[in-house]
Amino acid sequence: MLVEGPRQVGKTFIIRAFAAETYEACYELNFLKTPTLKSIFTGDLSPDTILAGIRLSFPEQRLAPGKTLVFIDEIQACPDAITALKFLAGDSRFDVIASGSSLGMVHAQTSSWPVGQIEYLDMWALDFEEFLWAIGLEEDLMDVIKAYKTGKMIIPEAVHQKMNSFLMQYLVIGGMPEVVNAFVPEKDYLAADQVQRRIYRDYTADIAHYAAPEIRLKAQACWNSIPAQLTKVNHKFQYGVVEKRGNRQKFGSSVDWLTASRMVLQIHNVNKVEYPLKNQILEENFRLYPSDIGLLISTYDFSLKRAFLFEQSEDNLSELIVFRTAKGGIFEALAADMLCKKGYFEKCWFYRNEAGTVEIEFLIEGTIGVTPIEIKAGNSKTKSLDKILSDENIILGYKFANQNAGTFGKKISLPMYMLPFI
């Protein structure tokens, strides 16, 4: 199995926990921590040779045939180990779990990708439902909430208000495990904020550490420009925002690196709302969102968090200029976070016509074809969604906004906290 995901989302932690409760023995190889272990995967890649190299490197560990896990962490640092997975797959003496990030960037360096030999698992930070479990909601309560996803029943006001409150908590905390752990015991927003900002700095430092020398500074500039990109009226990623007169030739490979590392979600515009959407992509027209909403929020002053948390009870906070200019982009990023963690990474798109008169924030595909999703930070009208729904080939569409549930013909209106449950 190959577990891929952004850094610091808990891949190593959860694999170690799984190994402890499932296997009698575990060999853990981390190529960033111990680069010399890469030598195990040079030359002969037969299972016997590789296993002998592993056992010699960990003489204190005992092999338990059939009950042993070989855990290869940060496998992207050793392309030869990726090639070796296909040879190790059939050995009954041990199982193999590898984890890493930026695997898309090392594909070309791998002599033979193990196609058909491994299972893939995408791992992200906690999604909204997992966040609710973390703060103490029991899982059976989710079934109560999910019953309202058809939009045919009004959500009781007490439930609606409480879920909105939880949504705002998730918006300002995000799902990075260390941030959630800092928040949960005492509902301490300041403690979580400190961890959040440190992780954001760590991500920026990771670019300098792991990206190729020729793109490090440019990738950092693209990463740091995302809040400004989402504050614009048109949230299309523009290289000119990164640097005056910037262009794809200079910054395109940096965007590719950020996407491959799972630090950002890249969502392309399509020129027609027509199945299959991947055939309608406009390559140079896309939006970038951080893969966790908390990473975006950490780029703003703490007062913005207070505005989201207490906006309804403290009207003066919503008068913050940054709140007014950033709110729409932040709610879009929240929806992108939810869709990505629901399984739509690289599987959703948006539509905006050239005149800018019709815009749908997200399009997804399923058994009923294309489903449009419009996101509203407030509760304004849905002229674009209504126009798209006039197409007889579109079966239904969703509006997510600050409102209760309802259905209007082919349109299902739901509060934002229902997005992960559709």
User: Read out DSSP for 207-236?
Assistant: HHHHS-TTTHHHHHHHHHHHHHHHHSSS--
Query: How many Cβ atoms sit within 10 Å of the Cβ of residue 345?
Result: 19
Q: pLDDT digits over 42-70, tens only?
A: 989 999 999 999 999 999 999 999 999 99
The C-alpha atoms of residue 329 and residue 321 are separated, in whole angstroms, by 14
pLDDT at 324: 73
> What letter does residue 156 receive in the DSSP assignment?
P
Looking up tokens 């799972």 gives 262
pLDDT at 75: 92
- Buried-exposed string 231-245: b where 16+ CB fall within 10 A, e elsewhere: beeebbbebebbeee
* Residue 108 confidence (pLDDT) above 70: no
Looking up tokens 């259905």 gives 407
Q: pLDDT digits over 145-178, tens only?
A: 999 999 999 999 999 999 999 999 999 999 999 9
Helices and strands counted in the chain (H then E): 16, 13
The C-alpha atoms of residue 254 and residue 350 are separated, in whole angstroms, by 22
Question: Starting at the edge strand that comes first in sequence, how are the strands of the sheet with 120-122 ordered?
Answer: 25-30, 68-73, 95-100, 2-4, 120-122
User: Phi/psi at 285 (nearest 5 deg)?
Assistant: -120, 100
Answer left, alpha or beta for residue 366, where phi above 0 means left and psi between -120 and 50 means alpha: beta
Is 17 exposed, middle or buried (CB count within 10 Å of its CB: 0-12, 13-18, 19+)?
exposed
pLDDT at 81: 92
pLDDT at 381: 82
pLDDT at 105: 55
Note if the bond before 59 is cis, omega within 30 degrees: no
pLDDT at 321: 62
Domain residue ranges of the chain, discontinuous segments joined by +: 2-122, 128-421
In whole angstroms, how far apart are CA 94 and each of 37, 116, 341, 392? 18, 19, 31, 54
Stretch 379-402: mean pLDDT, rounded?
92
> What letter does residue 344 receive in the DSSP assignment?
I
The C-alpha atoms of residue 320 and residue 113 are separated, in whole angstroms, by 51
The C-alpha atoms of residue 398 and residue 11 are separated, in whole angstroms, by 33
Q: pLDDT digits over 193-249, tens only?
A: 999 999 999 999 989 888 889 999 999 999 999 999 999 988 999 999 999 999 999
Nearest to 196 by CA among 221, 217, 171, 220: 171
pLDDT at 307: 87
Assigned architecture for domain 2-122: 3-Layer(aba) Sandwich (3.40)
This prediction has a pTM of 0.92
* Segment (H or E) for 251: helix 248-260
The C-alpha atoms of residue 8 and residue 101 are separated, in whole angstroms, by 10
User: Phi/psi at 367 (nearest 5 deg)?
Assistant: -65, -20
